[in-house]
Structures are given as C-alpha cells and as structure tokens.
Amino acid sequence: MSNLILVISDDRNVHGQLRLALTETASRCQLECVASREEIPPAHRPALILLDLMLSREPAFEVLKWLRAQQRYQHTPVFVLGSEIVEHDVNEAYSLGANSCLLMRSINDGFGQVAQGIATYASLIPSPAQPS
C-alpha cells in the first residue's frame, strides 16, 4: 500500500500545517507538497491527493479537471481543502470528481483531528495498479 499523500497548494502555511498535523498524528504517512500540477513528479502514485481550493497560479477546479483526465489519477481520491468553502464550491468540486471537501482550519482549531482522519483514510487505500 502507498502511504504517499500529495498536496497541491502554493501556500506554505498549508504545507506547514499539514506536515505538522500529519507528523504528530500519522508518522507512517509520507507527505509530498507541490505548488502546481506542473511540479507533480511523473512517477508519483499517491494514495490520496489534497487539493487547495485557493491556488493562485491556476484555478483549483482546472487542476481537478486535469487530474481526472489523467489515467493515473482517475481513481485516486481527491480531497478539496479550503479555509472557506461555500455550497457552490462543494457542488462544483463533486461534479468534477472530488471525493470530499474539507474545511481547513488551524492546528489549534482541530485540524490535527482532520489530518488524522486523512492519514487513516490514506493508509487504507490500496496502491493503484501500475499501467502496463
């Protein structure tokens, strides 16, 4: 099983909070942070992708569309993260293939518990089959 969680966010605070929360709650998970889809290493096969709704380089929903169009990520769970998520964002995310939308708060506001749930979820997902 893969224990790799891929984070797509250009916000260093998001990277830091996730790293801290996952280090404290699930040391067996590996976290890879990239700022855009262009930075995703081609050989990566993550168990889970966390997509920040507030990307500044390109709209997060464009990245989500791109992920779902890539054969290797079609079945990889994608969780959309946002500090503010309105109903329209949730509907759009689900219509584009997101598996979940999570409201991201600070570590002090209980984000550590969310990170634990993310890590547990990622550890239960079987590794994707390698393409032939």
pLDDT tens-digit profile of 110-124?
A: 566 666 677 666 665
pLDDT (0 to 100) of residue 43: 78
**What is the number of structural domains in the chain?**
1
In a domain, 131, yes or no: no
Structural domain span for residue 81: 4-124
**CATH number, domain containing residue 30:** 3.40.50.2300
| Measured CA distances, 12 to 27, 33, 59, 125 (Å) | 20, 9, 17, 27
What pLDDT, on a 0 to 100 scale, did the predictor assign at position 8?
A: 94
**Residue 94 maps to a domain:** yes
Provide the pLDDT for residue 16: 82
42 inside domain: yes
pLDDT at position 132: 42
Pairwise CA distance, residues 43 & 80, whole Å = 22
What predicted TM-score, i.e. pTM, was given to this entire model?
A: 0.82
Q: Judge whether 132 lies within some domain.
A: no
pLDDT < 70 positions in the chain: 1-2, 23-28, 105-116, 119-132
**SS3 (DSSP) at 125:** coil
34 assigned to some structural domain? yes
Stated as kind and residue range, the H or E segment containing 103 is strand 100-103
Residue 60 belongs to some domain of the structure: yes
pLDDT confidence of residue 17: 79
Q: Is 50 helix (H, G, I), strand (E, B) or coil?
A: strand
Report if residue 26 sits inside a domain: yes
Q: What sign does the CA torsion over 9, 98, 68, 121 have? A: positive
pLDDT for 60 equals 95
What local confidence, expressed as pLDDT, does residue 130 receive? Answer: 47
